[in-house]
Structure 1
Amino acid sequence: MKKNHIKSKTLLFILSIVSGIIIILSFVLDFSVNPLNYAAGYVLTPLQSGINQVGGWLSGKMDYFEDNLNLVAENEQLQAQVDELTVENTQLLQDREELNSLRDLYALDHKYESYEKVGARVISRENAGNWFSMFTIDKGSDDGLEVDMNVLAGAGLAGIITEVGPNYSRVRAIIDDYSNVSAEISETHDTCIIAGDLSLIDDGYINLVKLDDPDSKVKVGDTVVTSNISDKFLPGILIGYVTEIHTDSNNLTRSGYVSPVVDFKSIKEVLVIKNLKQNTSE
């Protein structure tokens, strides 16, 4: 009993001291709140501040990611619009090229209106490189086409049919190495040969050879057309314009170069004259 009594007194004494310390601290620190509240605030306030800072940082990151997601979505939408506009622009360019080609063919049709003609599309070219020196069109014997019929494109003569199938025809262009066209100079009526040479076409020229021009009347800029003496080509079809002329070493003939009126890099549509030279000359 005595030991328990001593323990109670000791406990009471310790509690009294703690209470006294708290009361003193309350007066010294001028708290208007409970000292326990102060102790809790002293510990929790920095923790709360840290939590608020972390929350603010996380909120900022979430806003950043949300903005990025919105930008990505907007960029994808804009890219889709750009792709759509690119397709539309490409189609418009193709339509414009086709329209220009059809206008050229329409002009050719009227220029050589005395001949019967049929339109055709180029479906393949058979030589390597960028030039249409040999190509195939989508019309053949079923459409009344025959070998040696003249083919027009651009503003004049493109070539001649060398082979015909039921629904296709092969065309040898006048720039081909094996092509020779009897021609004449419109201004002077002097005759010459237009000889294909693929090594020259990169510079935009065709060979003009064996020009019978004893008085040297032919000059740069003169017009070259098919001659009436040709056995396969109809007369008067525009080939091109003289770009260079000089006298040969034999001093009897002249040679030079012609700039063709047909763009042999981009033939898409042609007109085939159904009249044959052999028939018209009879």
Structure 2
Amino acid sequence: MSPVIKRGGDKFTLPSKYLLFILTILCTGLIAITFNTSVFNGSVNSVAATFVVPMQKGITTVSTYIKGVSDNLASIKALQDENAALRQKVDDLTNENTGLEQDKYELTKLRELYSLDNQYSDYKKIGARIIAKDAGNWYHSFVIDKGTDSGVVVDMNVIAGGGLVGRITDAGPDWAKVQTIIADNSSVSATVLSASENLIATGDLELYNEGQIAFSKLVDEADKVTVGDKVVTSNISDKYLPGILIGYISTIEEDSNNLTKSGRITPVVDFEYMDEVLVIMQLKKTGE
């Protein structure tokens, strides 16, 4: 049976074989379109698998790396800040410890001066700080921060560290210069306390580098003076008040004249390290 198609008032008859042919062509076209679409989708998927997916993986890897670097930088910055804070704390503690050590040192020196003040309580004294010294390690002369405005005058005796340092040789309104007993031109009339024998203690340019002073003109026929005996300023000294400790006999030698002895004295004062001294506020009276 053939399909009938009306056309106007007439009837149009389509043979069955043509209809079958048309339907076959139509199905074939649909199959081709479907196949081509599948191929296209496969191509797209293949392209995505080849390029897009690795790119996504790369982006993910880079993002992860950047995040890791950023986290590491943040950690490093935090550690640097913490390290800086710790360094500052160490500096603060170091400064605090230095201050405490300085306070302890000054307290020790003040105690020594206080003890010395009591030791020579018969004399009026004022404390002074050393503000300048000659070149070298040893204090053979130096300047203090007290002067004529404080009543300090030339030839006043200066003590520290348990004994005699020297005497004032020059003075201004707020300063004074001290020549110590280890200076090359220094000379002190002294007495060996245990034997009541007199001698002359003199500074020596070579010896003061060893912290020593020389003595001479010791008359000791009975050999009463021995190493370790205490030496003090004598009553016959023209510049120094009597009874101030100078030091201790360290060596004794017989002079070539066989009448006197000479040697060395180890001063009680450490002339390598001094910061503060006491000035005895009175002069030796002539004939005293």
**TM-score, scaled to structure 2:** 0.82
Q: Over residues 45-74 of structure 1, what are the superposed CA-to-partner deviations in whole Å (9 max), with x where a residue is unaligned?
A: 222222222222222222222222112111
**Given the alignment, which residue of 239, 242, 258 partners 1:232?**
239
Q: What is the deviation of 1:230?
A: 0.6
Contact 2:211–2:270 at 8 Å: present in 1 too?
Answer: no
| Alignment-derived partner of residue 169 in structure 2 | 162
TM alignment of 1:101-180, pairs within 5 A: 101-125=109-133, 127-180=134-187
Q: In structure 2, the residue corresponding to 1:277 is in which secondary structure?
A: coil
Q: Over residues 144-192 of structure 1, what are the superposed CA-to-partner deviations in whole Å (9 max), with x where a residue is unaligned?
A: 2221111011111011011122222111111111111111111111111
Residues 208 and 279 of structure 1, relative CA distance in 2, 3 Å threshold:
closer
CA–CA distance in structure 1, aligned partners of residues 109 and 76 of structure 2: 49
1:266 and 2:273 correspond: yes
The letter of the residue matching 1:187 is S
Contact 2:238–2:286 at 8 Å: present in 1 too?
Answer: no
Q: In structure 2, the residue corresponding to 1:118 is in which secondary structure?
A: strand
1:88 and 2:96 correspond: yes
Identical-pair percentage: 48
Q: What is the deviation of 1:20?
A: 6.3
TM alignment of 1:200-219, pairs within 5 A: 200-219=207-226
Residues 18 and 177 of structure 1, relative CA distance in 2, 3 Å threshold:
farther
Residues 38 and 228 of structure 1, relative CA distance in 2, 3 Å threshold:
same
**TM-score, scaled to structure 1:** 0.84
TM alignment of 1:183-198, pairs within 5 A: 183-198=190-205
Residues 21 and 210 of structure 1, relative CA distance in 2, 3 Å threshold:
same
CA–CA distance in structure 1, aligned partners of residues 75 and 112 of structure 2: 55
Larger deviation: 154-163 or 47-56?
Answer: 47-56
CA–CA distance in structure 2, aligned partners of residues 21 and 66 of structure 1: 52
* Gap regions ≥5 residues in structure 2: 1-24
TM alignment of 1:2-151, pairs within 5 A: 16=32, 19=35, 22=38, 35=42, 38-39=45-46, 40-125=48-133, 127-151=134-158
CA–CA distance in structure 1, aligned partners of residues 126 and 156 of structure 2: 11
CA–CA distance in structure 1, aligned partners of residues 140 and 123 of structure 2: 24
Contact 2:215–2:265 at 8 Å: present in 1 too?
Answer: yes
Structure of greater Rg: 2
Residues 279 and 103 of structure 1, relative CA distance in 2, 3 Å threshold:
farther
* Gap regions ≥5 residues in structure 1: 1-8, 26-33
Which of structure 1's runs of 4+ aligned residues deviate more than 6 A? none
Q: In structure 2, the residue corresponding to 1:163 is in which secondary structure?
A: strand
Q: Over residues 19-44 of structure 1, what are the superposed CA-to-partner deviations in whole Å (9 max), with x where a residue is unaligned?
A: 26947x9xxxxxxxx74674324532
CA–CA distance in structure 2, aligned partners of residues 147 and 41 of structure 1: 105
CA–CA distance in structure 2, aligned partners of residues 159 and 240 of structure 1: 13
CA RMSD, 1 decimal: 2.6
Q: In structure 1, the residue corresponding to 2:112 is in which secondary structure?
A: helix
Number of aligned residues: 261
Q: Over residues 96-131 of structure 1, what are the superposed CA-to-partner deviations in whole Å (9 max), with x where a residue is unaligned?
A: 221111111111111111111122222212x21122
